[in-house]
Amino acid sequence: MTTEALALIVFLPLLAAAGAVVLPTAWLGLSIRVGLMPLPLLLLIPTLEVLENGAYRIALAGHSAPLGIAWQLDPLSLLMLWLNVGMTLLISLHANCSFRPGQPHAHRFWPLWLLLFAGMNALLLSADLFNIYVTLELVTLTAIGLIALEGKPPALRAAMRYLLLALLASLLYLLGVGLIYGQTGVLDLYLLAERLAPGWLSVTAIALMIVGLLIKAAIFPLHAWLPAAHGNAPGPVSAILSAMVVKVSIYLIWRLWFWGVPEWDLDRAALLLGVLGGMAIVYGSLAALVQQRLKLIIAYSTVAQLGYLLLLFPLASTLAFQAASYHLLSHGMAKAAMFLAAANILRSLGTDRLRHLAGIDQRLPLDVFALALGGVSIMGLPPSGGFLAKWLFLEAAWSARAWSWLILIALGGLLAAAYLFRVLAVVCLHPRRRGNHRHLKRTPDTASLAAMLLAVGAIIAGFTSAPILDLVEAGLPPGLPR
């Protein structure tokens, strides 16, 4: 039962994507529904299974490890799956307004969108390195397709740059996989711990894979592609890319690090990753502070926020793991909300340049609210999921007596406040001329509602953390200190 449900979680969107291509336009709506709606229900079945019996493993196509293709669902991947499904569904609500079947780009958007969804689900389930490579490629390529979808020149340039860097990243990753396979003869992520002995070849392999993933995760100084790509993509695409897609790469580094090679002595490398994270936080925030376009500010904010996910490596404790996971979750919701709100603003103003935003809170109250609520969570101010994540991070840093990380985390919140309040201050400024926004296009209510739902979700995450944190704790890698 669980196996079938998991298979459907991947193949239903895949099938729907095919349907969206093949079937006539009139059937597009149906394909979308089939590919998205049943997923939460389907996911309930494996959820119950994992909550009851712990990690769940499937050997596909009859082969068992070390040869076959394996899927594994443990509490952490379950959490990620729920995030992906929940977020995709909510963002689809928004996408359904901008890419309503019958509108210009709809027939190209939805197949890619569903393919991305299927790829993400498969990626999160995959337990072997080559399978991860394939799904990661699928995700990256569909993401690039989605960015370039509307064919605007800046988006095309951004997509091209993303494509080149992503290809390089894939190559590095694949090289690492090859080296590992050559040494151990297995590809299963969860068998590496016992098979892969430290040595210069295996270290090189792991390093190559991590660098490849860092490029895909846009970690400073490998971030150059992200702001342009996320800042110029259509709204729903920016939202899912920032909320989920980039983070999956970091999630994979976590997997490699804590599950793949838990026995290695990696203190120096951990420190290096932590420093990269810290630099990402500072650089991303400062860059966000000088941008003139709302979507670029939000995109640079992603560069900054991703840095926190790397702090897990030097802190390496249960608390830090909970903090990073919770950050991933609340940042996802908040960032998606902000991108959707920004998309609505862009759509009705025709521009998202900051100086044109003065006084829009009167015209687009819901979107501004969503933007502000998401911002509160990003700043890590209570009450919000972002605050709890920040609290857990600070607690983890304190427990490790890691004062420099502690200061960095506190400072990061202030920097985020600086660049986000810069936006809100412009919004609260009275327009110099009355009737500045006479030519506003109305945004559909559902589009604003989707943004608002995600933003409220980020706030509510500040109150109900126990089930999620318990889930993370149940899925911790072995041998992690408190």
Partner 1 sequence: MMDQLMFWTPLLTVIVSALTGIVIFVAGERHALLRIILNLAAAIAKLLLVVMIGLLVRNGFTPEFRVSLVPGLDLVLRADALSMLFASLSAVLWLVTTVYAIAYLERSPNRARFFGFFSLCVAATMGISMAGNLLTFFIFYELLTLTTWPLVVHNGTATAIRAGGTYLRYTLSGGALFLVGLVWLYGISGPQAFVAGGTLADHAVDARLSLQIIFVLLTIGMGVKAALFPLHGWLPKAMVAPAPVSALLHAVAVVKAGAFGLIRLVEDVYGADLVADLGLDLPLLLIAAFTILYGSVQALRQVDLKKRLAFSTVSQVSYIILGIAIGGPVATVGGIVHLVHQGLMKIILFFCAGIFANLLGVKRIDQLDGIGRRMPWTSTSFTVGALGMIGLPPVAGFVSKWYLGAGAVEAGRTWVVAILVTSSVLNAAYFLPVLKRIWLHPPPDQWPHEARVSRLETGSLVGSAIVAAVLSLGVGLLAGHPLSPLNWVDSIVAGYFP
Contacts for 272 with CB less than 8 Å, ≥ 6 apart = none
* Stretch near partner 1 under the rule CB under 8 A, chosen from 106-114, 126-134, 256-264, 391-399: 391-399
Considering the complex, state which of residue 160 and residue 456 has its C-beta at the smaller distance from partner 1: 456
41 binds partner 1 (CB under 8 A): no
Per-residue binding string, partner 1, 323-362, x by CB under 8 A, is ------------------------------------x-xx
Q: Is the bond preceding 66 in cis, omega lying within 30 degrees of 0?
A: yes
Q: How far is the CB of 359 from partner 1 (least distance, A)?
A: 7
Choose, by CB under 8 A, the member of 430, 442, 446, 481 that binds partner 1.
430
* Stretch near partner 1 under the rule CB under 8 A, chosen from 28-36, 114-122, 328-336, 412-420: 412-420
Hey, how many other C-beta atoms are within 10 angstroms of the C-beta on 59? 15
Choose, by CB under 8 A, the member of 93, 394, 451, 459 that binds partner 1.
394
Considering the complex, state which of residue 48 and residue 407 has its C-beta at the smaller distance from partner 1: 407
What distance in Å separates the CA atoms of residue 71 and residue 65, rounded to the nearest whole number? 10
Element (H, E) at 451: helix 445-460
* Stretch near partner 1 under the rule CB under 8 A, chosen from 72-80, 244-252, 287-295, 392-400: 392-400
Reference 466, options 385, 361, 408; nearest CA is 385
Considering the complex, state which of residue 103 and residue 362 has its C-beta at the smaller distance from partner 1: 362
What distance in Å separates the CA atoms of residue 317 and residue 480, rounded to the nearest whole number? 6
Q: How far is the CB of 316 from partner 1 (least distance, A)?
A: 18
Q: How far is the CB of 174 from partner 1 (least distance, A)?
A: 40
466 binds partner 1 (CB under 8 A): yes
481 binds partner 1 (CB under 8 A): no
Considering the complex, state which of residue 151 and residue 365 has its C-beta at the smaller distance from partner 1: 365
Choose, by CB under 8 A, the member of 60, 410, 474, 480 that binds partner 1.
410
Choose, by CB under 8 A, the member of 391, 443, 457, 458 that binds partner 1.
391
Considering the complex, state which of residue 162 and residue 387 has its C-beta at the smaller distance from partner 1: 387
Helix, strand, or coil (residue 37): coil
Number of residues that bind partner 1 (CB under 8 A): 36
Reference 140, options 177, 108, 171, 100; nearest CA is 171
Choose, by CB under 8 A, the member of 392, 450, 451, 471 that binds partner 1.
392
Choose, by CB under 8 A, the member of 143, 244, 469, 471 that binds partner 1.
469
Considering the complex, state which of residue 197 and residue 429 has its C-beta at the smaller distance from partner 1: 429
Look up residue 105 and give its DSSP letter. T
Choose, by CB under 8 A, the member of 160, 175, 279, 411 that binds partner 1.
411
* CA distance readout (Å), 443 to 223, 304, 371, 425, 440: 32, 29, 15, 23, 9
Q: Rounded to 5 degrees, what angle do the CA atoms 305, 344, 19 make?
A: 90
Hey, how many other C-beta atoms are within 10 angstroms of the C-beta on 44? 12
What distance in Å separates the CA atoms of residue 67 and residue 191, rounded to the nearest whole number? 12
Reference 370, options 396, 390, 403, 344; nearest CA is 344
137 binds partner 1 (CB under 8 A): no
Q: Is the bond preceding 153 in cis, omega lying within 30 degrees of 0?
A: no
Choose, by CB under 8 A, the member of 151, 207, 414, 481 that binds partner 1.
414
Which ranges in 99-199 belong to alpha helices (H)? 106-125, 129-148, 153-184, 192-195
Considering the complex, state which of residue 164 and residue 407 has its C-beta at the smaller distance from partner 1: 407
What distance in Å separates the CA atoms of residue 174 and residue 70, rounded to the nearest whole number? 18
442 binds partner 1 (CB under 8 A): no
Q: Is the bond preceding 221 in cis, omega lying within 30 degrees of 0?
A: yes
417 binds partner 1 (CB under 8 A): yes
Helix, strand, or coil (residue 188): strand
Tokens of 164: 């080149």
Q: How far is the CB of 468 from partner 1 (least distance, A)?
A: 10
CB 136 within 8 A of CB 169: no
Considering the complex, state which of residue 68 and residue 431 has its C-beta at the smaller distance from partner 1: 431
CB 328 within 8 A of CB 393: no
What is the tally of helices (H) and strands (E) in the chain? 21, 2
11 binds partner 1 (CB under 8 A): no
* Stretch near partner 1 under the rule CB under 8 A, chosen from 67-75, 153-161, 207-215, 398-406: 398-406
CB 238 within 8 A of CB 231: yes
Q: How far is the CB of 394 from partner 1 (least distance, A)?
A: 4
Per-residue binding string, partner 1, 286-325, x by CB under 8 A, is ----------------------------------------
Look up residue 257 and give its DSSP letter. I
CB 52 within 8 A of CB 27: no
Name the site residues for partner 1 (rule: CB under 8 A): 359, 361-362, 365, 369, 376, 381-383, 387-388, 390-392, 394-395, 398-399, 406-407, 410-411, 413-414, 417, 421, 425, 428-430, 462-463, 465-466, 469-470
